[in-house]
């Protein structure tokens, strides 16, 4: 059963058939999937969703595929964890972590978008998939593409974290490391996408790929007992994830699955790459591209494709944007680990540190029910913690040496 009727330009509203195209021929605006919500309303209810397997495909009518899911069959439905220790530490009432560091095959929210993009690539009969990536997407396309039998071209900035490079190359895609930052890689990939008939998941398949991010929003609502929270904090690179979390909440409202939509959306960036939060703070809609310089490499997109739409989503919802320093990011990674036992990558550090800043500024209420989107696993960026972790007690293999160390441990009171 088909629920997508076509693609529509976000700027001029012109409609296009369902094809691997992403930009309007008339005004160069981005294209977006259009759904028949009347038909979806008849097919989808809370009860039908609840009966389905616990994966992102339980919301399949709201995803832009025509047939049955073919890729990423175990992706999604990650835990929503009540963060009681962290809430106590921060002096807030009701705090949750949407924990995308775990359960997903490649340990980041990119398993969501890639499940949808590669299913669509199969429907379009592509034999080759490709992407421009800041790391997590490279990992997800390499892995899911291998399982689904695609030829794979993965383009990354050459300076990516070693763990992320290993996490992609182990699946033996064609890994191309480009001398340049993500924005250079993306520009090159747009040229390549014009020349070769490949499914570039975040370029010509982008209108389909991006919809996969809505599933974080759907899951948050379902896991809160079909309620939308007061606030959600989302990390931003291209701004697509944030835009789609907001779209998910609006779709649930449209379908009558939630009655009230009171959620404010907050965007999180690293100060070393914060074109969207800068525009928010300046009160302008013009996003000025920057040259990224931050430890949060997964968020290092200086010219964000969906920055404008992320900004509109934040403003429409009544939320705000903030950005945080590299030290704040690292401190937040450690705080989340020692309070909640969750090891997040740098993007997770950005989200938590931004939340702390927004609390201090009074932008988020301490009485709010807040959800933090922690989107990737810390083992993939562990090198940022070298020399920045707690002390390791190195001893000889005898009791005396241990007790010597124990004296120091007790002095620290840990
Ligand atoms: C872990 C992680 N979180 C968040 C994002 C932000 O995604 P978006 O480009 O949709 O804003 C990325 C992007 O690569 C990421 O890798
Ligand atoms: Zn247009």
Domain-by-domain residue ranges, the chain? 80-106+211-385
- The closest ligand to the CA of 276 turns out to be 1
Residue range 80-106+211-385 forms a domain whose CATH class is alpha beta
Q: Can you tell me the distance from the alpha carbon of 120 to that of 88, in angstroms, rounded to the nearest whole number?
A: 44
Q: For 200, list phi and psi in degrees, rounded to 5.
A: -80, 105
Residues in contact with 362: Cβ distance below 8 Å, sequence separation at least 6, in sequence order: none
Rounded to the nearest 10 degrees, the angle between the axes of helix 162-169 and helix 136-148 is 10
Cβ neighbour number for residue 375 with a 10 Å cutoff: 31
Q: Supply 279's token pair.
A: 């525009």
State the pairing for strand pair 174-178/94-99: unpaired
Please classify residue 224 by burial: count the beta carbons closer than 10 Å to its beta carbon, then call 0-12 exposed, 13-18 middle and 19+ buried.
middle
List per-residue pLDDT tens for the chain, 414 residues long: 789 999 999 999 999 999 999 999 999 999 999 999 999 999 999 999 999 999 999 999 999 999 999 999 999 999 999 999 999 999 999 999 999 999 989 999 999 999 999 999 999 999 999 999 999 999 999 999 999 999 999 999 999 999 999 999 999 999 999 999 999 999 999 999 999 999 999 999 999 999 999 999 999 999 999 999 999 999 999 999 999 999 999 999 999 999 999 999 999 999 999 999 999 999 999 999 999 999 999 999 999 999 999 999 999 999 999 999 999 999 999 999 999 999 999 999 999 999 999 999 999 999 999 999 999 999 999 999 998 988 899 999 999 999 999 999 999 876
- The closest ligand to the CA of 24 turns out to be 2
246: CA distance to ligand 2 center in Å? 22
* Spacing of C-alpha 369 from chain mean position: 21
Model confidence pTM above 0.95: yes
Q: Which of 116, 182, 235 to mutate to test the pocket of ligand 1 (most atoms within 8 A of CB)?
A: 235
Ligand 1: does its nearest atom lie under 6 Å from the Cβ of 241? Answer: yes
Q: Which of 202, 237, 287, 333 to mutate to test the pocket of ligand 1 (most atoms within 8 A of CB)?
A: 237
Edge-to-edge strands, sheet with 31-35: 15-16, 4-9, 31-35
Q: Residue of the nearest CA to atom 15 in ligand 1?
A: 298
Ligand 1: does its nearest atom lie under 6 Å from the Cβ of 271? Answer: no
346: CA distance to ligand 1 center in Å? 11
Q: Can you tell me the distance from the alpha carbon of 350 to that of 321, in angstroms, rounded to the nearest whole number?
A: 12
Q: Can you tell me the distance from the alpha carbon of 199 to that of 212, in angstroms, rounded to the nearest whole number?
A: 16
């Amino acid at each position: 059963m088909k629920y997508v009727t076509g693609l529509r330009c976000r700027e001029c509203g012109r409609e296009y058939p369902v094809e691997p195209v992403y930009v309007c021929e008339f005004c160069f605006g981005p294209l977006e999937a259009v759904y028949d919500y009347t038909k979806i309303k008849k097919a989808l209810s809370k009860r039908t969703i609840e009966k389905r397997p616990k994966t992102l495909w339980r919301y399949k009518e709201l995803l832009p595929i025509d047939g049955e899911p073919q890729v990423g069959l175990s992706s999604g439905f990650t835990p929503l964890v009540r963060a009681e220790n962290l809430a106590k530490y921060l002096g807030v009432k009701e705090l949750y972590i949407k924990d995308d560091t775990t359960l997903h095959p490649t340990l980041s929210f990119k398993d969501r978008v890639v499940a949808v993009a590669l299913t669509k690539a199969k429907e379009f009969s592509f034999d080759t998939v490709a992407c421009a990536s800041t790391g997590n997407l490279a990992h997800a396309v390499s892995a899911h593409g291998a399982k689904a039998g695609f030829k794979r071209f993965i383009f990354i900035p050459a300076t990516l974290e070693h763990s992320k490079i290993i996490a992609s190359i182990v699946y033996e895609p064609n890994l191309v490391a480009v001398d340049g930052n993500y924005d250079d890689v993306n520009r090159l990939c747009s040229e390549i996408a014009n020349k070769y008939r490949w499914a570039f998941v975040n370029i010509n398949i982008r209108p389909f790929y991006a919809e996969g991010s809505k599933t974080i929003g759907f899951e948050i609502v379902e896991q809160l007992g079909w309620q939308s929270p007061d606030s959600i904090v989302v990390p931003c690179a291209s701004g697509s994830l944030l835009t789609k979390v907001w779209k998910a909440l609006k779709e649930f409202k449209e379908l009558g699955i939630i009655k009230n939509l009171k959620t404010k959306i907050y965007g999180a960036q690293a100060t070393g790459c914060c074109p969207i939060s800068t525009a928010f703070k300046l009160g302008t809609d013009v996003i000025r591209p920057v040259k990224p310089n931050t430890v949060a490499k997964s968020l290092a997109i200086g010219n964000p494709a969906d920055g404008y739409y992320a900004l509109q989503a934040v403003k429409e919802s009544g939320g705000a944007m903030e950005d945080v320093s590299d030290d704040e990011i690292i401190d937040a990674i450690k705080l989340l680990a020692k309070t909640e036992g969750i090891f997040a990558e740098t993007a997770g550090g950005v989200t938590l540190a931004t939340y702390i800043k927004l609390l201090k500024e009074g932008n988020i209420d301490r009485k709010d029910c807040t959800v933090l989107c922690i989107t990737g696993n810390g083992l993939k960026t562990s090198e940022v913690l070298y020399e920045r972790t707690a002390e390791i007690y190195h001893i000889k293999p005898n009791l005396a040496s241990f007790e010597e160390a124990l004296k120091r441990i007790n002095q620290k009171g840990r």
